[in-house]
Structure 1
């Protein structure tokens, strides 16, 4: 398993703490948005599982793709991250071309089913100290990898019609590995035509804030457990909270119940209050024997079908929020 970012509580309380209120529309008249995203987007079985979950619950997801999974390990030398040795990746590569081809098919099916495909950069390195030029180089490799993916996999004749337009126009969002976004990131995102960044952490559910032309979203801190201590609403952070980052399958059911209660409570607080979108983050790893994915499935099953709730991806959320400019502000 690759290492993921765990923000210290003291730092989390100071990052992206915008909580702008929407005075233009009464909260009870707005739909409660739920935004679910997955980082990495590599394991093909979890592509299938998540897409089936979406169909069953009516949700649309955002998948933040790490582009090294578009290359088999035998071609690792094609990639060089800023300030790293050629062929290095913190999350590895695809095992072979057949695995890559399956992944390309999953990406395309997800796009056709209304999901949002975003960038998680490539080799999952901490870019907190990267310059604008470093980020641009990483984004250029990401886009070239997608653009040429079917050819690189040796099945150019199977590239779907519309793939090139998808690569050029539909990759609109980004989340930084480890949620580590330095000063060079936003300018690079603007230069590369992105619309949003989802790398912040906020004190609680918050509307996106503007940084230049980029709308910046943040995963919220939500109360969890008997003490109600805040934790970032992401599966890995719960995994560290519950079992110190080590598998404990014997307590999987208990972890699932605690997570589901935290999601329900965070949702209810917004549904009964300001109706600020609730963002939940996941990885393509079923930690603690699948506790967090099971909690997500149960939460979406009981939530997304409600008439005044919309389980949407980040691009859809931006479009919904933008209908009321006073609520969305300059960020949208």
Structure 2
């Protein structure tokens, strides 16, 4: 059974393999949390580009508040991958989205990094089961899927592959949480993970409307940002639907509207008793069973805060 060499809260030295937009964003995030970071990227201009990414991100990070000792000076750029991960206590891989490349790279990282170190991949779509096939120690390889820019957007989706030890998945989830991330610890693998699949559904519907001449790009942007997008910082689709049911909640909304409305080109699954129960139970868990009036008042306060923040930002 795999065992970590260090507790998540004791990590200091982090290796970031890949220093593009996502990898550079991770570097900035970890530096802002006070870690020492060693990075490696095969591009000849990698160090110059990486330090430029960190420099551009640093004012925003300063405004949010830095951890004690946080500094861009704690960044080192290694000459080789092996040098970068040799004494790492956590490794974040952020190579381009190519399955063969990622599989080979994770196998190289696995061969060079200390055996008790967790290795996270920033893949935006691949299953870890497919990426860990060539690794000698696949039990410590996990997906840590961030969102751009990683130094500002808190979400990270964490899931292991078929050969990943559950202890490594839980270790990674705790580590990311301690660095200030909001972690979704997934129960099972799904290609594209959760948030990307939700984004993709909206994007495809938008493409259909543009292609059919039903809406312009500008109309769709306004429809999202001035409408449902305002609620999304604090209410996901199920809670939104729950409040649409008024005092009867999501159970009333499901009975009234169902799930297969005429407003999308995407097919919905049948509203079985099992799906209905999962939605009603899930909404109750998310809202803590609070009455609709209390939730609506809270929603309105949050909407006002979002609107004020947008106004102050000139949006």
Q: Could you tell me the TM-score, scaled by structure 2's length?
A: 0.31
Q: Quick check: which has more Rg, 1 or 2?
A: 2
The structure, 1 or 2, with the larger RCO (C-alpha pairs under 8 Å, 6+ apart) is: 1
| Greater per-residue helix proportion | 2
| Greater per-residue strand proportion | 1
